[in-house]
Amino acid sequence: MTKFTELKQKWMSDKDVRSEYEAHAHEFEIARALIEARSNAGMTQAQVAERMGTTQSVVARIESGANLPSMKSVIRYASAINARPVLQLIPDKRKAA
Within 8 A by CB and 6+ apart from 38, the residues are: 45, 48, 63, 81
Within 8 A by CB and 6+ apart from 44, the residues are: 56
pTM of the model: 0.77
pLDDT tens readout for residues 46-75 = 999 999 999 999 999 999 988 889 999 999
Confidence of residue 19 (pLDDT cuts 50, 70, 90): confident
Nearest residue to 29 via CA among 63, 78, 70 = 63
Rg of the chain's alpha carbons, rounded to an integer?
16
Residue 45 confidence (pLDDT) above 90: yes
Residue spans per domain, the chain: 10-80
**Residues present in the chain in total:** 97
In the CATH hierarchy, which top-level class contains the domain 10-80? mainly alpha
Q: Output the pLDDT for position 1.
A: 63
